[in-house]
Amino acid sequence: MAKTLFYGILAALFFSTTFLLNRVISLDGGHWVWTAVLRYGFVLAFLAVGLLLTGHVRLILAAVRIFREHVWFWTFTGSIGVGVFYSTICFSAAYAPSWVIAATWQSTILITPLLLLAFGRKVPMTGFAFALLVFAGVLLINVEHASETSLEMALLGAIPALVSAIAYPIGNQLVWEARMGERFKKFIPHIDDPELDNSFCKILVLTFGSVPFWLMLLLVTWPPAPSDSQYMNTAVIALCSGVIAYSLFLLARQRARNSFEITAVDATQAFEAVFTLAGELLLAGGALPSAGGWLGVALIVVGVMSYSLRQRHTAPASSGAAAAE
């Protein structure tokens, strides 16, 4: 379990570049739609080139095959887990500091156990209690932000980040159910292709599925052309967050053996708030949080660590999450 959590925390470090650079792009006048679209365009490019150069063409072909076999499922899942998730994060960057958005996004830790319950999975009450502790930290941070700006600005920063926090675990859980679960067969196809266990293959398939969402978003908003700096920053985000971080996170989630461990892996993403705050202070010269903000960050860290400590006293499951019920 310790190694699984380490992968999750390392993913959080690379994910934090998203919040930092999205804010930089927004302050430079870059449109949020291009920030989102370009990131996943670069993700496809980086993965395709990387897999070709390392002789893993089979993964590209497998991703295309898996997508074509279940095109509607992947379009739906990719639109939610990639499209809605990331477009709302980019929108928030125009209205709130990066560390506030990163902290607000940790609402996903409370949403995850609720989502697992909705999918018929058993969730230990201790795990739910730790999630509430983390969510309390999120609330404290947003109360501080609301006191320093207008209510409208605070809501425009917080509500889209909350929507993103809901969309992300939904997308991930749909993938998990398709690969590992046996319920909801009428709605979720059972995909037993072993190539789907590869993180890069998953990213490719999900990104393929998000393409219709991005095209529709561009047609609806018709944003002005991106600048050279926006191209560069989104490329860095794509590499650090879209490829490295997401691969690490999917690997950690794949190693999860039961509902508690799935929730614990998702909880490690709370460290994004800590890493983003440190990055904003060191790289962007951001203002230090007040006592309420620091308390909020502390609650998030304590909540995450509580998952790890509690897991030491939990007997390991014999198989996957479905068998752990």
Q: What is the pLDDT of residues 180-238, one digit of tens each?
A: 766 666 688 888 888 888 888 988 999 999 999 999 999 999 999 999 999 999 999 99
Question: Residue 192 CB: number of other CB atoms within 10 A?
Answer: 9
CA 267 – CA 136 distance, rounded (Å): 14
Please indicate, yes or no, if residue 7 is contained in any of the structural domains: yes
Residue (of 198, 96, 218, 207) closest to 152 by Cα position: 96
- Indicate the helix (H) or strand (E) that contains 193: none
Instruction: Please give the structure tokens belonging to residue 187.
Output: 């709605």
pLDDT digits (tens, 9 = 90+) for 45-72: 999 999 999 999 999 999 999 999 999 9
Query: Are residues 206 and 78 in contact, defined by beta-carbon separation less than 8 angstroms?
Result: yes
Least confident range from 68-72, 147-151, 318-322: namely 318-322
In a domain, 10, yes or no: yes
User: How many other β-carbons are positioned within 10 Å of the β-carbon of residue 15?
Assistant: 25
Integer Cα distance of 49 and 58 in angstroms: 13
Assigned domain for 241 exists: yes
The DSSP output letter for 106 is T
| Residue-number span of the structural domain to which 132 is assigned | 2-311
The reported pLDDT for the residue numbered 236 is 95
pTM reported for the whole predicted model: 0.83
Does 110 reside within a domain?
A: yes
Q: What is the pLDDT of residues 76-129, one digit of tens each?
A: 999 999 999 999 999 999 898 888 898 888 788 778 878 888 887 777 666 677
Q: How many residues can be counted in the chain? A: 325
| Residue 237 falls inside a structural domain | yes
Q: Where are the alpha helices (H) located in 29-150, listed in sequence order?
A: 32-53, 57-69, 71-78, 85-92, 98-105, 108-118, 125-148
Q: What is the number of structural domains in the chain?
A: 1
Could you tell me if residue 318 is inside a domain?
A: no
Q: Is residue 323 part of a domain?
A: no
Task: Give the residue among 31, 44, 53, 33 at the shortest CA–CA distance from 78.
Answer: 44
Phi, psi of 224 (to 5 degrees): -65, 160
Q: Is residue 86 part of a domain?
A: yes
Nearest to 80 by CA among 209, 200, 176: 209
- Biggest CA-to-CA distance, the chain: 55
d(CA 132, CA 115) in angstroms, rounded, equals 14
